[in-house]
Structure 1
Amino acid sequence: DLKSNAGMSSRAEVGAALRLGSLCALPSWLSAMVLSHWPTSAFLSRKSALFLQCRARLELQGRWIGLLLRAKSQGASGSARLDFFSSVSVVACDMMLGVAACRLLNHTFSAEVLASCSALHHWTYGKALVSLVTWLMGAPADFKLNRELTSFAGGVCMSMFSLWEKCAAELLGPRAGLLVFRAASLLCALGGASLGLALLMDLLSIASLPLFLAYSGISRCWQLFFRSLYTLTLLFRCKKHNVLRSRVDHHNFNLEQLLMGVILLSVIVFLLPSVFMFYAFFAAAWTCVVAVYSLLGMIVFCLSHSPCFPLAVGFVEPLAWNHGLTLSLREGPCAPDGRPSVKRLVQHEVFQLSLRPLRWPGDALQPMLRAWASNSSHLEPQRQHGILAGLASGDAVSLQPLALRSKGDELLAVSWASFLEALQLLRG
């Protein structure tokens, strides 16, 4: 009876493993097929978080066949099998959170939610930013600004905000809001919570487009004024910047050049407070948008690289993942069997073979930290040096999603042979 029960349990485990492997191998093959025909758009790769997240999910699922085939040569305790279960657990947790988010959206969705979103959009561009621009066109903080420049810049910004609000009111009606809600719930149910958050990031970048245009134009003006002030400072010191050699050289200017420098310096000095006030307040408003966008991007990154499986394995079986074997030589007044020796003066040398355990939770979070470092290297130059440094120098900081890349080896060649080989491996 015990043998028959053991045989039945082993057959049940083999059947469960076969079903699980089949469910994982088929999406992996389909993901690799879709990824081989995935469009390579430079604009979408830089601006669309949903595009990058879909590609990252396809890359992650497309690696499953390769990991299963690698596990064939490494055995049951190979790292490829552990990596396979880790990537499957990431997708499974994301899918479960997506289903929960879909049910939450279906329960909480109503016409009042769409009205609240529309009211928030109207308050942002119809009241908050318009009142800010009107305040800047006056005398903010008792600064005596140039009235002609502030009237021109404020008129351009207010016209752009009002035009955007009218276009949004025409296009974003109840039907459009319902369509966006259905698309978000469908993405959460089929692709997980990370795809829904990526769609929310794209919607935020579209909604903040006029604010970015105003901030970008004013940042260009501030950068031009700042560089001009630096150039004129060098001029009065009889120096100039050598563009070819990237250095500051001494130069003898004549009287006409110095007179032109004085005129330009007077114009820039009198216009600089007006440009600075516009740039400071629009940079502060844009920093709030960048903070919300970066927070959503961090959540998407954590969902795509969550170390739930390594942490669970570390609590259940601490030696499943380790740093390998270590051989050490120990000396002591004990016998080789561990009992105290009669002759205390005799030193015994013992070779000890042991496993080096992982350091928790640092080693479990190390793959996620490596992925973060790899993704950060593909950011724009001003994002690599820091957002605050870019704001101080006048560089326009744009909304750029993380270039989520799957870790590990390259994708296996897409073919029926690899798919069938993986299924045969699971049957074996």
Structure 2
Amino acid sequence: MANSTIQALLVNLPRTTLYWLDSWPAGLKLNAELSRFYVTTLVGVIDTWESLLPPLSPTFFRVLAMCSSLGGLTLALALMSDILSLVLTAHLRLAYELTRTVYWAAGVRMGGGLLWGIFRGKRHNVLRKRTDSWAYDIDQLLFGTVLFTLLAFLFPTALVYYVLFAGLRLVTLLVQAVLETLLAFMHHFPLFALMLRVKDPHRLPGGVYFKLVTPSSTTSKDSTLRKPYLSLESQPLSLSAIFFQYNELWARLARHYNPLRLFYRVLAGKHLSSIPPYSIRYVADPEGSAEAR
């Protein structure tokens, strides 16, 4: 079942989608030569990965189950996340990097920046960090306009294939985000503090408070001990204070996997990556982090 699922989702689906895009779906007329180059290259990457990766054997699942029994569920989740990122989706990541490089270099960097400025008679001032008007020569304007027109007609084809593999990359990151969230929450689960909170809450002091005690006449026969007095009591640590690291972890995960942030990085052609493991393993002291910054 695992082999058939991997074959259907990670091999057959991208290959079928590439051939579907190359056949002008829904009247989407892409550049035939560039589209054929994309399909030939990316299908070759998928076929090479399929020939190198052997089918998953029962021994693989036995080793995974053994690691889970020895190192706990956290080790199994970490192995699943690493296998998904490094082995199962390596071909999709390579295809994403290829399409992203072409999209960023040709479309965003050259077409949207340099050639668009030449087409409008503008130039970026590096010293003042602004865009100024500039009188180009007729040869420069003609050459820049020809290149800009060429990129403008080729850019939709590059954009379509980039959006395809960027979407697959986002789905992979979503699965990794679920695994990393479970892994981080299990690493920071305060089991000992909860057991101590149930057994003896006063052994987890969260502060002190004064309690007014009024002894009754039957408690003590001495009149001096029958006067009201203040008793210093220990206030148990609240559950919100015990789970304070969960708030920090959730804030970091939500900030990194924010849909608006990911959408902006897709449009800008920036690299999409999972959250660094060291940033969710341990929650640093906010004061110490501020001093470090």
Q: Check whether TM > 0.5.
A: yes
Instruction: Give the Å deviation of 1:118.
Output: 1.8
Among 244, 257, 281, the alignment partner of 1:366 is 244
| Inter-CA distance 319–203: structure 2 relative to 1 (3 Å threshold) | same
Deviations 1:91-145 (A, max 9, x none): xxxxxxxxxxxxxxxxxxxxxxxxx222222223442111100011121332211
Contact 2:93–2:169, Cα closer than 8 Å, also in 1: yes
Match of 2:80 in 1: 200
| Inter-CA distance 150–358: structure 2 relative to 1 (3 Å threshold) | same
Match of 1:180 in 2: 60
Among 170, 191, 207, the alignment partner of 2:71 is 191
Distance 2:248 2:189 in 1: 13
Q: Letter of the aligned partner of 1:208 in structure 2? A: T
Q: Does 1:219 align with 2:100?
A: yes
Q: Does 1:133 align with 2:15?
A: no
Q: Tell me the secondary structure at the aligned position of residue 386 of structure 1.
A: helix
Distance 1:356 1:247 in 2: 59
| Inter-CA distance 392–359: structure 2 relative to 1 (3 Å threshold) | farther
Match of 1:242 in 2: 125
Match of 2:3 in 1: 118
Match of 1:233 in 2: 116
Match of 2:263 in 1: 388
Normalised by the length of structure 2, the TM-score is: 0.78
Distance 2:15 2:75 in 1: 34
Q: Return the structure number with greater relative CO, CA threshold 8 A, min gap 6.
A: 1
Distance 2:283 2:180 in 1: 18
Aligned-residue Cα RMSD (Å) equals 3.4
Contact 1:201–1:296, Cα closer than 8 Å, also in 2: yes
Q: Does 1:287 align with 2:165?
A: no
Normalised by the length of structure 1, the TM-score is: 0.55
Contact 2:207–2:235, Cα closer than 8 Å, also in 1: yes
For residues 268-417 of structure 1, the aligned pairs below 5 Å read 268-326=151-209, 337=214, 353-360=232-239, 362-370=240-248, 386-399=261-274, 402-403=277-278, 404-406=280-282
Instruction: Give the Å deviation of 1:285.
Output: 1.6
Instruction: Give the Å deviation of 1:326.
Output: 4.5
User: Which residues of structure 2 form unaligned runs of 5+?
Assistant: 217-228, 286-293
Instruction: Give the Å deviation of 1:156.
Output: 0.6
Select between 395-404 and 123-132 the one with higher mean Cα deviation: 395-404
Among 263, 266, 271, the alignment partner of 2:146 is 263
Instruction: Give the Å deviation of 1:218.
Output: 0.6
Distance 2:186 2:129 in 1: 45
Distance 1:245 1:373 in 2: 37
Instruction: Give the Å deviation of 1:148.
Output: 0.5
| Inter-CA distance 250–318: structure 2 relative to 1 (3 Å threshold) | farther
Contact 1:185–1:196, Cα closer than 8 Å, also in 2: yes
Instruction: Give the Å deviation of 1:196.
Output: 1.1
Contact 1:146–1:274, Cα closer than 8 Å, also in 2: yes
Q: Tell me the secondary structure at the aligned position of residue 203 of structure 2.
A: coil
Q: Tell me the secondary structure at the aligned position of residue 240 of structure 1.
A: strand
User: Which residues of structure 1 form unaligned runs of 5+?
Assistant: 1-115, 331-335, 340-349, 410-428
* Sequence identity percentage: 26
Number of residue pairs the alignment of both structures matches = 270
Q: Letter of the aligned partner of 1:192 in structure 2? A: G
Among 90, 94, 101, the alignment partner of 1:209 is 90
